[in-house]
């Protein structure tokens, strides 16, 4: 068997990532989370008389709690690898990245493990979010007053 033949064979047996399927799953999962989230937010507005903005903050906290809890129980890694961006882009992804990195490094101790690596994955969101928010808000004040 020569090189080219071998390459062909490898290509044939490598499992293909089905991009179309991934995209549909991401759409349905992300949409489903938003749909359920909206139900919860509207429920809180009606039942507890919350303002709209307040209900979204509570919703965010609830989402973070559920995602962190499921991550700690060990279910969530599996879900994330199946649903891709459907779970990564919502706040669930943020909570998942924090909890999973915290779980991974806790064996290294409270300071050198948890303290040093707590924000390993979520750190980039915080860093670039804060930078962008800072400079855009200055730009916003300059332009809009």
Partner 1 sequence: MIYVNAFILGGFICLIGELILDNTKLTPGHITSIFTVLGAFLSFLGIYPKLIEWGGAGATMMISNFGNLLYQGGYEGFHSAEILGFASGLLTKVSAAVTMAIVFAFIFAIFFKPKD
Q: Considering only CA atoms, which of 78, 84, 77 is closest in space to residue 21? A: 84
Nearer to partner 1, 6 or 137 (CB): 137
Residue 44 near partner 1 by CB under 8 A: no
Nearer to partner 1, 1 or 110 (CB): 110
Q: Considering only CA atoms, which of 76, 82, 112 is closest in space to residue 97? A: 76
The residue with tokens 């804060």 is 130
Nearer to partner 1, 6 or 134 (CB): 134
DSSP state of 17: P
Q: Give the separation between CA 10 and CA 72, rounded to whole angstroms.
A: 38
Residue 116 near partner 1 by CB under 8 A: no
Q: Which residues contact 32 (CB under 8 A, 6 or more apart)?
A: 86
Residue 19 near partner 1 by CB under 8 A: yes
Residues 52-111 that bind partner 1 (CB under 8 A): 56-57, 59-61, 63-65, 68-69, 71-74, 77, 84-86, 88-91, 93-95, 97-99, 102-104, 106-107
């Amino acid at each position: 068997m020569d090189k080219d033949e071998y390459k062909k064979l490898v290509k044939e047996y490598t499992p293909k990532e089905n991009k179309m399927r991934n995209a549909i799953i991401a759409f349905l999962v992300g949409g489903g989370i938003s749909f359920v989230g909206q139900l919860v937010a509207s429920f809180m507005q009606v039942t507890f008389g919350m303002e709209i903005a307040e209900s979204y903050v509570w919703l965010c906290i609830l989402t973070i709690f559920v995602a962190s809890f499921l991550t700690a129980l060990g279910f969530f890694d599996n879900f994330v690898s199946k649903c891709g961006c459907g779970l990564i882009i919502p706040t669930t992804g943020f909570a998942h990245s924090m909890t999973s990195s915290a779980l991974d490094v806790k064996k290294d101790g409270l300071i050198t493990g948890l303290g040093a690596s707590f924000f390993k994955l979520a750190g980039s969101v915080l860093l670039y979010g804060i930078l962008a928010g800072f400079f855009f808000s200055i730009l916003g004040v300059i332009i809009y007053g």
